[in-house]
Every structure is written in structure tokens, then in C-alpha cells.
Chain A
């Protein structure tokens, strides 16, 4: 199959038709879009890459500045990564708080390090952590900002855009403030997930270095705002833009979400790679191993129907939209060739199921050597996992969250525990790394839900363990946040460390994304100790010198299962005739006793099969989930 290897930035008809005068006017509005700390520096920002592509398509000269790279270079990669990956407290924002808010910053002396000593233990003991954080804030941050001001050519720049997700807002305010002091004519535009909903409106009201904020998706609003600025029309009339009017923030109603993702060209990451190489953070080798962000879909098709109770993603734009498979195929080829990397990280919240029939078979057929990350829903079949693996997906985040069907129902996950376990099985078999967590704290759960999970976990140690286990966070936009009556919320307030970052003139109820809370029916912490301990043991077993295994060999009427999950207890189970066939019938996916009976040509009564399933479960060879049974062993033959 011959396919095009290039994608040109697509221009809407109105832009294509722009006359020479319009183009000349827009050419006179050089724009820089900036990504500040603490965005991870190992990969380019898809927000910046996309804004550049869109800006270029509208004839605006847009540059991207991955300023997070400079701070990583200054602090050293490891220290930067440490600060970027711990998001429980607002430490990254706190570091830039004085630079952003001056004397209004609430914690000049570093009480943060002392008051949250347990959470900041990764920085050392409280005194060490405080000393480090104060040095970073008082010495490293000012010199970093000065270097950005002096080291980048801001001459002639008319607009500076800041994209903010996680802890990028306050660093962005700090740079914007200094830029405004030095170049008062500059127009600042903010956007990103931190500006969604009322968060953006309140930040505009309270932060004078923000001229405009795009609230919601920027694909249409950002170039429209630039056009208004260039054309001299009212920027405040652009849908989805917030600005200050007489000390109040005013937001225009947002436009509809972008529905045709194919319309924009692929993100332009050129300046990320050149800057990272110039700073010595990337080796300018011929072959790169950088994960290239790719967006193939937005929103969540599951969340649009059944919003998972804890999920705060897709604040105001849950509607699911996906690029066409043909477009994705072409974009992968274009970006691999352009950036000399075969690794792609999909930023999608959920895999479009049609890609399983219309995209991945074509990737397999193409022979492309991609490696990819995707977030998926966990109810995929063995064949689908195999297809993903053959298509290059070697990392997934399936949102498993629990091994209790009852708890999964409470969180509206739409899957059963046996399906989650089955995904872990086939992911291990086909060589896919699974990022997942155990969550607890859902209204309506019982101690038994966790006792059952703790009891099952020792049988699962041959499968990838959860990365973490803990109580759910309350995120803005999640049903846990919005439906306080149903959840019987007794208390809800912004996560405490916001108070150490923002001046008291900022309404944290409107700005915070993470909240602390108390529910009327919450179970005590010790309810979860059994699961927590079982996860620790599971993780230790998985990371031990010999990886646990549970492997089966099958021939008609004969099964042997080698059980090496627990050192010192290794051994082989041998089953003949009906038991062998029953075990084999439950290998591919969770199945009922009646289903097993059908597979065995109804030669056994279902009640007898249930007896067998119970025994397999009792011996840890099957995972039993209500009326479903799932064999836990993996095939001995590779890759079938």
C-alpha cells in the first residue's frame, strides 16, 4: 500500500481565502507559546506543538518556547524530575510563588516544607527539604527567570501564550509578570486544563499579568483571539475567552467543541528538539528514543455515557471525537520521519474502539516498528490485546482501579473484576506493560469488598501489580466533586497546600483542582490495610529475583499447570478429562458455568462444573467473580 508521508497544515477555507492585506497584518503579530516548569521535559508539549501548527495555518508567525527545558538544565535532570513527578502538594507552584506574587505570596519562610514534611520526604528530612526549597525559590528561580528574559529574543513579539496543566500556572505567572514589566505592550494569553471552567475565570480576575484566558479548547478560540488582536476588533467577543473588565472577569460563552480533529495538521515539535539538543538534554544522535505525543482522540466515549465517579478529566468537553484511522496512520508515519523516533505516546483518555478494526490491522500490515502508549478501557479481548501488541502498543493505562466487581460498579467503571484480571493476564502474555492503581474510598463500599480483594491478590502475583494503592482524590469536575448530596459530603475544601502558594485575594474554591473532603459514610483507614499489605507483597514478589509464574500446558483431556508463584511452594497440577477441559474452557476470558457446559458439548451438568470451578478457585488456579470464572495460568506456548 502506498500512502502519503506528509501532512500539510490544514487551513480552514476562510483562512485560505485570506487576502494579502490580512496575511500581512497577521505576519506583524509574532507570537510565542510557552511551556513552563514543571511540565516533564523528556518529551515535547503537544499543546505547544498544536498551537504552533494552528497558528501557522492562520498565517500567524508562532514560535514555541519549551522553557521547562531550561530549568531542567539548570537544576539537573534528576532534581527536576523529582520535583515534576510529585504532584500531591503544590510544591512546584510554591517555588514560583514569590516570583509571581511578590510580597503577596503567603509563605515566604518555607513553612510548606515543615507542615507537609511527610509528603515531602522525597526531598529529605524537614530541615533539608526546607533549605533546598528555599534555595531553589530564592536563588534558582530568579536566575532562571532572568536568563529566560535575557536569553530569548522577545524583540518584536506581540503575544505570549502560556499553556498550563498540573503545576505550571504559577511559574507562568512569574514569567508573564516580568515580561510585562520589561515589555508592557506585550499581550499575554493563558489557557490549558488549569484554566477550564471557573478556574480560568477566577485566575483572570485575580492575576493582573493575564490579559486573556482561553477557557476550554483553544483550537478555534486561540487563532480567533489572535485575529481579533491583529484586526483591531474586540478580543472580548471571541467565544470562550475570559478577560478583566472594570476589575471583574468576564467570560464569553464558549463555542462548540472541535469535532473534526482531522482538520488540524500534526503538532510541530521542531523547536523542542532543537532547544533540547542545544541545552545538552538530548543527544543529537541519528536515532532518537523520545516519546512523541500524539492526539488521536479527545473526550471519553465511556464518560459521555457513564462518568466514572472519581474522574475529573475532560472538565467541560467530555464529548468523544477521534481522528480517522487513515489520518492517524499518515500522522504516525509523518511524525516518525520528521522527528526520527518510532515511539508515540497517545494523549487520548480512551482508545477509540474502531481503531481495533480499522487502524491497528493496517499498522500490522505496514510492518511499521512503532512503540506506542495508549489509555484503554479494560474490557478488551485476548485477540484485541494481541492485536494491540502486534501493532506496537507496549504500554497501556487501562484504568483498572479495583479488583472488586462491586466497587467497580460503585465507581461506574462498566467492567467486572474478572475482566480486569484477564487484561492483566493477556498483557503479560503479549508483553504489554500495564500502568494501573488500586483505588478505595467510594461511597457505598464495604469492608468485605476489600477483604475479598486482599484474599485474591496472593493468587495474582504472576501478573503485573498496581503501581499504587490509595484513597481516591477528589478532582474538580468529577461526580464525586459535583454531586455532594448523593455522596453525603460533610466537608470539602481546596487541598491545603494551595494556601501556601496563592495570595489570600485568590478564591481557592474556584481555582483549585484537587480537594480535601470527608464523606459521611467513609470507612476507616484500617479497612484498607489488608489490601495495602497484599499490594506490597505482590509488588515485592513481582520485583523479586525470580518473577512469579503460573503456566499451563494443554492437550485434549490433559492439562498441567506449573505453579511457581510462591518460592518454596512450587509444584505442578495435573488434571485429566473433564477437569482439564473445564480449565481450558476458562482460559480465554471469564465465562459462566453454563458457558463452560456449552463448550464441553453439554457432557456435564452445570452444577458439577460449578463444583469444579469452586475448587479451582479455592486452590488459586482460577479467579472467581460472581458467576464468572477465569483460569489464571498463562499458556506455555509463546505469542499465539
Chain B
């Protein structure tokens, strides 16, 4: 019974790390191997942090919008 295997019962952090196998991550990984790995990662990590907090402060616009646009319908595709 698949439902009783430990993997399935663990929290889904495993699923998140599973994304490492995706094509984009794999490309970065291969490039890292070819060019020297750590240097590629360091380039990304050294980029200046975006000013997220300021963006959050500007993000909100008050007001009610058209309800017909906003209500998620629960109908499934037929």
C-alpha cells in the first residue's frame, strides 16, 4: 500500500527539494560542473538584494474590484 510508505507520510519538504531535478536547475548544475561550480553559484548569491520591503510598502491599492472578476468559481472543466 503506497499510502503507508514513510516517504509519502513525511512533510512535503521532500517535494520541494525534488524540484532540483528540473531542467533549469539541472542546466545550472551542469554549467557549474563545466565552469567550476562554485563560481557560478557565487555570482548569483553576490547580486545586490532587491529592496523587497519598499516594494511591499508600495504594493497595496485599496478598493473593491468587480466581484465578477474576483470570485473563484468552483466549477470543474467538463
Bound together: yes
Contact surface of A with B, Cβ cutoff 8 Å: 301-302, 304-305, 320, 322, 350-354, 357, 377, 379, 381, 386, 389-390, 414-416, 419, 428-431, 549, 551, 562, 564, 569-579, 589-592, 594-595, 598-599, 601-605, 607-608, 611-612, 615, 619, 627-628, 634-636, 638-639
Q: 26 A-B Cβ contacts within 8 A? A: A304-B4, A352-B3, A353-B4, A354-B1, A354-B3, A381-B12, A381-B15, A416-B11, A431-B76, A549-B70, A551-B71, A571-B63, A575-B59, A576-B55, A577-B50, A594-B16, A595-B13, A598-B25, A602-B28, A602-B44, A605-B47, A635-B72, A636-B69, A638-B76, A639-B74, A639-B75
Q: Is B53 engaged at the interface, CB distance under 8 Å to the other chain?
A: yes
A615 lies within 8 A of B53 (CB):
yes
Contacts A564-B64, A564-B70, A569-B62 aside, 6 further interface pairs with beta carbons under 8 A come to A351-B3, A414-B10, A579-B59, A601-B28, A608-B49, A615-B53
**Which residue on B lies nearest to A546, using beta carbons?**
B67
**Which residue on B lies nearest to A615, using beta carbons?**
B56
- Residue of B55, B69, B72 with most chain A CB atoms under a 10 A cut-off: B72
Report A-chain residues with C-beta under 8 Å of the C-beta of B77: 639
**Which residue on B lies nearest to A415, using beta carbons?**
B11
Which listed residue, A304, A430, A577, A628, touches B76 by the CB 8 Å rule?
A430
Report B-chain residues with C-beta under 8 Å of the C-beta of A575: 55, 59
B56 lies within 8 A of A619 (CB):
yes
B12 lies within 8 A of A571 (CB):
no
A598 lies within 8 A of B20 (CB):
yes
A562 lies within 8 A of B3 (CB):
no
**Which residue on B lies nearest to A302, using beta carbons?**
B9
Report B-chain residues with C-beta under 8 Å of the C-beta of A320: 1, 4
Report B-chain residues with C-beta under 8 Å of the C-beta of A573: 59-61
B25 lies within 8 A of A601 (CB):
yes
Q: Is B22 engaged at the interface, CB distance under 8 Å to the other chain?
A: yes
Which listed residue, A572, A602, A607, touches B60 by the CB 8 Å rule?
A572
How many angstroms from the CA of A428 to the CA of B72 in the assembled complex?
A: 9
A570 lies within 8 A of B16 (CB):
no
Report B-chain residues with C-beta under 8 Å of the C-beta of A599: 19, 22
How many angstroms from the CA of A570 to the CA of B66 in the assembled complex?
A: 12
A603 lies within 8 A of B44 (CB):
yes
Chain B, 28-63, contact with A by CB distance < 8 Å: what is the 0/1 string? 100000000000010011010110110110011111
A598 CB to closest chain B CB, in angstroms? 5
B50 lies within 8 A of A578 (CB):
yes
Chain A to chain B: the 3 pairs with minimum beta-carbon distance, closest first:
A353-B3, A595-B16, A431-B74
**Contact status of A636 and B72, CB under 8 A, knowing A320-B1, A594-B17, A608-B49:** yes
How many angstroms from the CA of A634 to the CA of B77 in the assembled complex?
A: 17
Report A-chain residues with C-beta under 8 Å of the C-beta of B71: 549, 551
A460 CB to closest chain B CB, in angstroms? 16
How many angstroms from the CA of A304 to the CA of B52 in the assembled complex?
A: 47
Report B-chain residues with C-beta under 8 Å of the C-beta of A350: 3
* Number of B interface residues in the complex (CB < 8 A): 45
A414 lies within 8 A of B12 (CB):
no
How many angstroms from the CA of A572 to the CA of B58 in the assembled complex?
A: 11
B20 lies within 8 A of A589 (CB):
no
**Which residue on B lies nearest to A599, using beta carbons?**
B19
**Which residue on A lies nearest to B3, using beta carbons?**
A353
Report B-chain residues with C-beta under 8 Å of the C-beta of A430: 74, 76
**Contact status of A419 and B11, CB under 8 A, knowing A579-B52, A591-B16, A603-B44:** yes
**Which residue on B lies nearest to A588, using beta carbons?**
B15
**Contact status of A595 and B19, CB under 8 A, knowing A354-B2, A390-B76, A430-B74:** yes
**Which residue on A lies nearest to B25, using beta carbons?**
A598
B7 CB to closest chain A CB, in angstroms? 11
**Contact status of A602 and B9, CB under 8 A, knowing A591-B16, A608-B50:** no
A46 CB to closest chain B CB, in angstroms? 22
B60 lies within 8 A of A638 (CB):
no
A605 lies within 8 A of B63 (CB):
no
How many angstroms from the CA of A197 to the CA of B77 in the assembled complex?
A: 49
**Contact status of A574 and B1, CB under 8 A, knowing A602-B25, A602-B41, A628-B13:** no
Report B-chain residues with C-beta under 8 Å of the C-beta of A351: 3
How many angstroms from the CA of A576 to the CA of B55 in the assembled complex?
A: 9
Report B-chain residues with C-beta under 8 Å of the C-beta of A634: 72
Report A-chain residues with C-beta under 8 Å of the C-beta of B69: 636
A478 CB to closest chain B CB, in angstroms? 20
B13 lies within 8 A of A627 (CB):
yes
A481 CB to closest chain B CB, in angstroms? 24
How many angstroms from the CA of A578 to the CA of B59 in the assembled complex?
A: 13
How many angstroms from the CA of A260 to the CA of B56 in the assembled complex?
A: 58
How many angstroms from the CA of A495 to the CA of B45 in the assembled complex?
A: 61
How many angstroms from the CA of A598 to the CA of B70 in the assembled complex?
A: 31
B73 lies within 8 A of A301 (CB):
no
**Which residue on A lies nearest to B59, using beta carbons?**
A573
How many angstroms from the CA of A364 to the CA of B74 in the assembled complex?
A: 17
B70 lies within 8 A of A562 (CB):
yes
B62 CB to closest chain A CB, in angstroms? 4
B12 CB to closest chain A CB, in angstroms? 5
B14 CB to closest chain A CB, in angstroms? 10
How many angstroms from the CA of A602 to the CA of B27 in the assembled complex?
A: 11
B53 lies within 8 A of A592 (CB):
no
**Which residue on B lies nearest to A609, using beta carbons?**
B52
A400 CB to closest chain B CB, in angstroms? 15
B72 lies within 8 A of A562 (CB):
no
B25 CB to closest chain A CB, in angstroms? 5
B74 lies within 8 A of A579 (CB):
no
